[in-house]
A and B are shown apart, each in its own frame.
Chain A
Amino acid sequence: MKKIKKIEIDTSKCTGCRTCELVCSAFHYEPKYSLVNPTRSRIRVFFDEENDLYVPVIAGPYVEAECDGRKAYTIKGEKYDECCFCPVSCPSRDLFKEPDSGLPLKCDMCGEPPPPEGPLCVAWCLDDALTYVEREEEEEEEEEEKADEKESAIEYLIKKYGLEEIRDILDRKSKL
């Protein structure tokens, strides 16, 4: 069983106030809350007010390469580049990168342990456009992956330091 944490987005409830951007950027800085800068935020609201489009996008994974085959969407008669809604921090755009260092940003659900009020973008969104969902789920495949991960980590150590040395360490550890 694995705990799945997720922020669900209901675009129909978004009022476009961008409070989530501000509070996210304030939280993820040391010392906490000592600055505000939406371009440091791990959530951005893409909006096109002339077409009633309000889409909060949460920073996802970092990718090294720009994607190919970018799609264009037509919503309510207006064309939108897929880039607008993409959560990925990629070389082709500034979104989800620290403005000064250029390092990619990724949502961490406000880290471990999370703030008592839950992820801040959700806590500060009074209109429930963002909701925090936690649920237990069977995730067998991932368990197997984890086992693979451990095995390959040990293989790596053996390769680096030799089987003898690693076995000695493991013996010592098992006697503790």
Chain B
Amino acid sequence: MYTLRVYALCIVAFMDNTQTLLGILGTGPSYGYDVKRSYDRYFGSKKPMAFGQVYATLARLLRDGLIAMLGEETGSGPDRKRYEITEVGRKRVSEWMFTPDVPEAQLQSNLFAKTVIALLLEDDAEGLLDIQRGEHMARLRELTSAKRGANVMEVLMCDHAMFHIEADLRWIDLTAARLTELRAQVTGA
């Protein structure tokens, strides 16, 4: 059985960390430390996100109005800032989740993050996988069409791209088939 940890070991290198952190904040207001802990739990089992990167990303999100600060508490420890996602931020997360990526190698890392965030937000994870499948099929049709009348070298180049897309599609189908299992693991249900 593939566990979340195994997925994460394989595919976190090409994720959009900014959108992923924003998506985590979409589950509810949180301190920076807790955002990092959630990220590490879902995506960082091999390579936890550095505190510096977390706070730099949160500062950027704050500057862009995608999150807001709920108040700064004085007291012990450096981490007394609590953040919540804004409406603009929620819209950004939704756009990110439901905008298919251009089919290319390592795509599934970002798609994996979108799927997990959608499950955390109780959004339509199956729907975003369907949208990505459609994007992949469109690219596969383009390449199939490009092969007609092409010379053998061009055909082989198309074949190479097509087999990679096919591998992505298999991953998408398997993930769709395992969504219930993944949902249970991600949400702890």
Tell me if chain B binds chain A: no
Give residues in B with beta carbon < 8 Å to A.
Answer: none
